[in-house]
Every structure is written in C-alpha cells, then in structure tokens.
Amino acid sequence: MEGNLIVELQTFLTVYGPWLASGLLLLFVSIIFLEGTSSANSRDLPQVRRRHRGPKIYPIVGSHLEITRNLDQLYDWLTSYHRADPTNTVRLKRALSTSYVISTSNPQNVQHILKTNFANYPKGETMLEGLRPLLGEGIFNADGEGWKSQRKVASYEFSTKSVRDFIIELVHAETYNRLLPLLAKVHAEGSVVDIQDLLMRFGFDNICLLGFGVDMGCLDSSLPEIEFAYAFDEATRLTFQRVLLPSFLYPFLSFLAFFGIGNTSKLDKLVKVVDRFAQSVIKKRRKELKLKRDNEKSQVSEQELASKFARGDSDLLSRFIQYDEDAGHGSSKDAAAAMSDKYLRDIIVSFVLAGRDTSSVALTWFFWLLAQHPEVEKKIVEEISSIRRGRKESSQEAEGYTYDELREMHYVQAAITESMRIYPPVPTDSKTALADDYLPDGTFARQGDRISFNIYAMGRQESLWGEDCLEFKPERFLQDGKFVQESPFKYPVFQAGPRICLGKEMAYTQMKYVVAAILSSPYRFQPLPKASPRAELSITLKMKDGLMSTVRRIEGM
C-alpha cells in the first residue's frame, strides 16, 4: 500500500513537478482557505437531481490522485466511467478548487452546451488565461465580441473558391514533390521512419504556406529541425501542462518566470521565438502587399508581379490584411484599427495550431488502422481506381486529384471519418458555466464549473454505435454507397453549433488527397510489430513515441 502511494506521488510530481515546485509555498498557504471555502460552498449547493459514477474525490487534491494513477491510460480510464454511468456523465474535482469538472459523453448534453444554451457556456477566463501565452486573443482562445469578429472574417475567407483551389495546389505540391519521393527513399534504403513525424512535418509545411505564405521545408529529404517548428511544438506541449494547473498559480508562476525559474520561463522563451517569426512574416507581407498595390497603380504587367510574389496573395495572412484594408478604406475605422500586428499574429498562430496537428494526428491513426485492415485498403484502392478510370483516356495517368474527384471518394471519406470516431484528433474539449444550469440528463452545473464533452468516450459508447463500437467499420458512414454524416452532437469531432470548425472541409480535402495519393502509388506504410500504440497526454491525440514503420513497395504499380 505504502509502495503504491509512493509510486503515485512520483508520477504526480513527474507531470506537475516542474510547474508546482516553484509554487509550493503558495500552494500550502492556499490549502486552508480553499478547503474552508469549499466546505462552506457545498452547503449552498441546490439539490442535485442525480449522482454520477466516477473516480473518488478526496479533500484538497480532488480527483488528482485517481487521475495520476491512470495517466498512462487516462482516456480509456475515463471512458470506462462514462460507459458505466446511466447518462454517460462523470463528475470530477480539480485539486485546490471549489468547482467541479463535469465530463459528459451524452449527445443531449453536448447539444445543450454547444448550441441550445451556447451563451451560458463560453471557454471561460480560466481556459483563456491558460492558453493566452501561446494563442493570445486568437479565434480559438476568444469569447464574446472578439470571437464573433474573427469568426466573421475567417468564415468569409474559408468559403471562397480561391482558398479551396489554393489548398489543392499546396497539398499536391507537398505530396508529389516531397512526401512520395521521401517514401521512395525510405524504401530504397530499407530504413525505418516515424509516420507521425512525417505527417506532422507535412501538415506544418502545408499550414504555414496556407497561413503565412511561407515554405518551412520541414519535409525536405534531410528532415531538418526548424527552429520555429520546434518552438511551436514545445510551446504547445507546455501550454497543455499549464492549463492542467490551478489558475490561481498563474500570477505566481509568472513572477518566478521573471527570474528565469520554472516551466513558465521556458514557455515564455519559446513563445518569443514564435512571435519573432510571426512578426517578421507579417511585416514582410504588409510591405509586399503595399508594393503590389503601388505596382498595380503603375500598371505593372502581371508577369513582373508574379516574379515578386511566387505564391501570389492567396495565404490567409494576406487575405486578412487585405480584408482589413478594404474595410478601413470604407466608412469603418474600427475595422482597420482592429487588425494590428498582434491581432494578425494571434489569429494565424491559432490556425497553425488547429490545422497542423489535427489532420496529421488523424492520418497517423488512420494509416495504423489501415495496416490492420487490408480489406478496407482494398476497397479504397478500388474506389480511387474507378475514379481514375472515369477520366478522359489522356489524363488517366495524370498525377493528383481535382476537388470534384475528391468529392466522389465516398468510401475514403467514410474510412477517415470512422478512424476519427475511434481516435478523434482532439479527444476532449470544455466550456465554463457562466450561471447555474441543469443539463438535459439532470446534472446540475454550478456557475464556474468546467463542462467537458469527451469525444474519445463518445466514439466508444455502445449506446451510440452498437456492440461493435470498437471495430473499424467505414460502412457506418455509408448509405447506398454515399457518405452520410452523423449528427455533430453524436460525432463532435469538428465541434458543433456556432463554433463548428471552419476548417472541416479543408481538413477532409487534405486528408483525402494524401490517402488517395499514397494508395494510388506503389508505396505502403508497414508499421513495426508491437503492442497497440498509446495516446500521449496532450491537446491532440498524438501517438506516444510515434509510429515507427518501414515502407514496402507493391510490384506492378
């Protein structure tokens, strides 16, 4: 018993130690106050309509002892509680906190917090403050009017045909100029490669070209280490650790960071690298766009302009700047003032975070599942081959795929969607209750409680997907051979309601393109034999230790 407790405490300190060690004095001073406050507040709670199964909640440390016991299998451990509860809702408590975390995998509850009572469930200041060092006030870290204004601009830009065409162009170039030649090289050398690392590099190159108009070259054949990419990775990891801490520690940790102490200090240094890169690109892009406008006024030829702008002005940063200037040239001075360099930095960094990790993580799990299910791969290849045969004879062997061809890949989309059901790129998300409320299943949510919807657990729920919910079956999303999407409240992989993901179609376009390109090539990933990969504790469902693989070649292709 004593030995187990020591192991649990060691695990706890491994995860939280670098952050909490520096704040230990403040932590103990706060214990007496918070525990007393918690006891007093508990007497004021209204009658809870129903109680939920869940991990034991201890005084002071809340659910954290139980959580640290199960860190290596956290998502599956929580899922077991969700499946055991009659309404699939679990109540947890953070250490040194008077509020609860309500984790639900009930579609009715999800619809309530994401749509029906949307106004009562913003991200909340605690979450915003935790993410602010990296994301600033960007669209994924904003509430209220700040979120609405960014959403309006982003929604307009993502809906344009030119952005869609630009995405196809970027993915085509990265796939055929870098990814496939790299697979050929790995096969020829007989070497081993981390699929997750390749796809993360692929995603980073693509999203930086789309977001900034800058080619990072992460997927060059030498697989170089890029300072901005490394800083972004590490900053994301430390940011996730930060949001797990009690928010009252943030000011004290920032104070210690001033003296170079603790992980907050490391995070600050990494964010400075991100900021320097972003600001240099913004400054350069503003200058280029001004030159372009001046040249247009001077009626410079299109060919001369093309030599100055290899990628034109199709990237999101250029679009936001132009949108801002167009608005500012009209009657609204506020619109022009809003898009400062800091504003642009925040919104673009947010899109890089969302667009890079999610698709790459989803594809990693997809290719691992595909290696276990050759029958699914066969059906995908048949669908792709059928589409290519439908082309004019002169273009049947042409590289790449058009947007219309990608739309016809119903089985491919069903397979990717099924993969994300079992392994969602973002396993959980949460909001904060602004006011007391009852969820549809009768759970009482008190003002200040975190309401988490567990996407990972939802995909493993027999009540939603049947007894075979753990099986990989793309046919779940097909009807008469056509892809059919489930309710976003049953399948909230791309969020739902007013905050539904703007990049959903972009993500599907990229993923379907990569899958089609690889499976119409002679190369296949062959993951090394090992036990089922485990998920890393992070913002996204990365594979812990990656997915090591060889590359085999199919003769005759």
- Tell me: is residue 469 an annotated ligand-binding position: no
CB 177 within 8 A of CB 217: no
The Cα 303–Cα 190 span in angstroms is 45
Single out the residue of 324, 255, 253, 258 nearest to residue 286, CA to CA. 324
The Cα 109–Cα 243 span in angstroms is 23
Residue 72 neighbours by CB distance under 10 Å: 12
Phi, psi of 439 (to 5 degrees): -75, 160
CA Rg, the chain, in Å?
25
Phi, psi of 556 (to 5 degrees): 90, 0
Provide the CA 243 distance to its chain's centre, in angstroms: 15
The Cα 160–Cα 210 span in angstroms is 14
Single out the residue of 499, 173, 138, 497 nearest to residue 320, CA to CA. 138
The Cα 493–Cα 416 span in angstroms is 12
Q: What angle do CA 453, 454, 460 make, to 5 degrees?
A: 140
Q: Which amino acid is at 144?
A: G
The Cα 389–Cα 399 span in angstroms is 13
CB 371 within 8 A of CB 525: yes
Residue 199: partners with Cβ closer than 8 Å, 6 or more residues away: 360, 361, 363, 364, 514
CB 178 within 8 A of CB 209: no
Q: Which residues pair with 90 in a beta bridge?
A: 103
Written as six digits, the tokens of 43 are 């007497």
* Burial readout 232-245 (b: 16 or more C-beta within 10 A, e: otherwise): bbbbbbbbbbbeeb
CB 39 within 8 A of CB 416: no
18 burial type by CB count under 10 A (0-12 exposed, 13-18 middle, 19+ buried):
middle
Which residues participate in the annotated binding site? 501
Residues in the annotated binding site for heme: 501
